[in-house]
Structure 1
Amino acid sequence: MTSPYIRRRRLAAELRKLREARSLTTDELARLIYQSRSKISKLENAQIRPDLAEIMTILEVLEVTGRQYEKTIRLARDASAKGWWDRYGNAMGPRQRLYADLESGAESIRSYNQTAFPAVLQIPEFIDAMVDLDEHQGTLDYSPARMIEARTRRQQHLLSPDGPTYEAVLDETMIRRLAIPATVKAAQLRHLIEVVTAEPRIVMRVLPSDVLITGGFLPKASFSLYAFPETTDPATAVVDTVTTDLVLTQRREVARYTEMYDRLGEVALSSADTLAFLSGVANRLTNETESGT
C-alpha cells in the first residue's frame, strides 16, 4: 500500500496551493465551508486524517474541476486510508505509528542508528530491556506489550517478499555503550546476523568509532531516509530527537541528510566485516557472562 502519511503531506500541500491560488485566507475558506480555522490549518499541515466529503466541499468552494479535481480526490482517498497500525491507537506509541506508516509504502529505507539497534529488527527481549531504560526517564506513553506486538508486525512486513530494501549504519559507540544485559545484547546481535545472512535485501554496516568522517559535520542524531516507488511521493528524512521525530520532505533538507548518510557509508565497515565484527562482540559478551567477568 501507499503510505497514508506521505499522501496526507501531499494533500496538505495541494490544498494550501489551491486555496492561495484563489487568494483566500484560512479564515475565509473556513467560513465558506462552515468549519473552524483550526480544521483548515490541520488539514493543510497534515495533522489529521481527511474526511472525503469535506475535501469534496472544499474543492467545490474553490471551483476545482476536471483533472485537478480527480487528482486531489485520489490523494484524499489514499490519505484517509487506515493501516494495521491504526488498530493499535496510541498503545503502540505515536512515534512508532509514524514509522509503521512510512514503512508500509517505502521502496527503500536507509538509517543511521546512533542510540539503539534498528527498531524494526529488535527481538522481544531487547525491547523489554529498552522499555526498562525508558521507564527511568518518566511515564511511558505506550503499552509495552502492544508496542512489542507492533514491532513484530513491522518486522514481518520488512521481511515479506514485497518488503522494502533496508540498509542500516550502526554506530560502534552505541553497540558498546548501550546499557542492557549482556545476554540480551548478544542475542540481539545474533538475530541481526541471522537476518542479514538470510535476506539479501537487508544490509548492516558498522561505523567504527575511530574513523574520521570528512566532508562536513558529524551527525547530531539518528535518522532514516525513505524512498517511495511513485516519483510524486517525496523522498523523506525522519530525524529522531529525544522528544519527537522531525519529518522532512523538502528536497534541500532531505539532500543534506542523504549526503551525510553517504559520507558515513564511505567509512563504515563492509557488510562482510560487519558480520564478523557483530559476531565477535556477541561471542565476547557470551564468554564474559559465562566466566562471570
Structure 2
Amino acid sequence: MISTYVRRLRLAAELAALRQERRMSSEALARAAGLPRTTVSRLENGRMRPNPNDVMKILEHLKVTGEAWTTLLTIARQASERGWWESAASEMGARQALYANLEAGASTIREYQMTLLPGLLQTGEFTRARAGVDKADWSAHFDPDQAVEARIGRQRVLHRPDGPTYEVVIDELAVRRPATALPVLRDQLIHIANQATTDAKISVRILPVDGQITGHMVPRSGFSIYTYPDPQDPVVVAVDTVTDDLVLTSPDAVNHYLDLYERLSDAALAPQQSVRFLQETAEKITDPTGRAA
C-alpha cells in the first residue's frame, strides 16, 4: 500500500506546475476540460480524492502525452485508492488515520517524541490506557478497542520485508513521567528496549533532560518526518499539537525540521546506551507501596 495522502500532494504539485507552464488560469482549464472550477482548484490543492477520468480530461487539455501522461495517471489512480485506515477512521480516530496514511509506503520514518512514548512502539495495554485519557480525538463513533487494533495495524508496517527504517528520539521526560499505571509503563519500556535490540531497522535514542543541543534549539513539540521511495514525492513533516496535527511539505519548513532532528539525535544517547537507560528505568519502577511494579 502507498500513502494516498502523499500521492494526492504529488498530483496536486504536478498539475499546478503544468497549468502554470501553459500559462492557463484554473478557470480556463476547467472550462476547456468541461469540469467545475472547484474540481481543478481542489485537485491542485490536494484536497480531494481524484477521479482518474477528471485527471485524464485535464491532461488532455494540458497536452500531456507519453511517459508523463502514464506517470500522472498512475499517481491519480493510486491517490484515488482507499487505504485500510479509511474504513474505520471515525472509530480509530482521525489523527491516527492520518498517521497510518503517511506511514504507508514510507521508506524512512524519523520521529521526535516529547511527551509520550512512540505509537509505532506502543504495547496494546499502553495504547488502551492512553485512549481512555486522550479524548480530544474522540468522535461520536470512537471505539478504544478499534484504536488499539488500528495501532497494531500501523505497527505491522515496520516488520514488512519492504518496510521503512524507523528512527526515534524520545525525550527523557516521556520515559520518566508516568503516562499510565506503573506496571503498564514498566512493560512498555521493556517492550521498546526489546524492539530496539531485535529489529535492525529500528533505532531508539533517549534525549536526556540535560542534553546539550547544538545552538540550544529547544524543541517546542513532537514531530515526525517521512520520506518515500519515489524521489519526486515530497518529504512530509507532521507536527504534533494538542488537538491537531500540522502537515508540512514546503522545503523551507521541512528543512527546519530535518536540521532540528539531526541536532536532537546528536544530543541524545547512543542506541546501546538508550536501551540500557530504558531497561534500568523499567527495573526501578515501583508501585506506591514501594514494591516492583
TM-score, normalised relative to structure 2: 0.91
Whole-Å separation in 1 of the counterparts to 2:14 and 2:216: 35
Query: Could you tell me whether the CA contact under 8 Å between 1:115 and 1:178 is conserved in 2?
Result: no
| Count of matched residue pairs | 292
Alpha-carbon deviation of 1:288? 5.4
2:100 aligned partner? 100
1:146-179 Cα shifts (integer Å, max 9, x gaps):
1111110111221222211111100011222243
Specify every segment of 5 or more residues in structure 1 that has no aligned partner in the other structure, as ranges.
Answer: none
Q: Aligned AA for 1:62?
A: L
Alpha-carbon deviation of 1:80? 1.8
1:116 aligned partner? 116
SS at match of 2:88: helix
Whole-Å separation in 2 of the counterparts to 1:33 and 1:227: 33
- The residue correspondences of 1:163-178 to structure 2 (distance < 5 A) are 163-178=163-178
Alpha-carbon deviation of 1:202? 0.6
2:273 aligned partner? 273
What is the root-mean-square deviation of aligned Cα atoms in Å? 2.2
Share of identical aligned residues, percent?
A: 42
SS at match of 2:280: helix
- The residue correspondences of 1:247-258 to structure 2 (distance < 5 A) are 247-258=247-258
Alpha-carbon deviation of 1:292? 8.5
- The residue correspondences of 1:70-219 to structure 2 (distance < 5 A) are 70-135=70-135, 139-140=138-139, 142-219=142-219
Specify every segment of 5 or more residues in structure 2 that has no aligned partner in the other structure, as ranges.
Answer: none
Whole-Å separation in 2 of the counterparts to 1:279 and 1:195: 12
1:176-214 Cα shifts (integer Å, max 9, x gaps):
224321111111111111211211111111100012212
Alpha-carbon deviation of 1:285? 1.4
Cα distance change on mapping 1:251 and 1:128 into 2, 3 Å? same
Whole-Å separation in 2 of the counterparts to 1:63 and 1:107: 33
Cα distance change on mapping 1:131 and 1:225 into 2, 3 Å? same
1:283 aligned partner? 283
Of 241-250 and 41-50, more deviation after overlay is shown by 241-250
2:231 aligned partner? 231
Cα distance change on mapping 1:289 and 1:22 into 2, 3 Å? farther
Cα distance change on mapping 1:153 and 1:175 into 2, 3 Å? same
Alpha-carbon deviation of 1:139? 4.7
Q: Aligned AA for 2:172?
A: E
Q: Aligned AA for 1:51?
A: N
Whole-Å separation in 1 of the counterparts to 2:16 and 2:167: 35
Q: Aligned AA for 1:243?
A: T
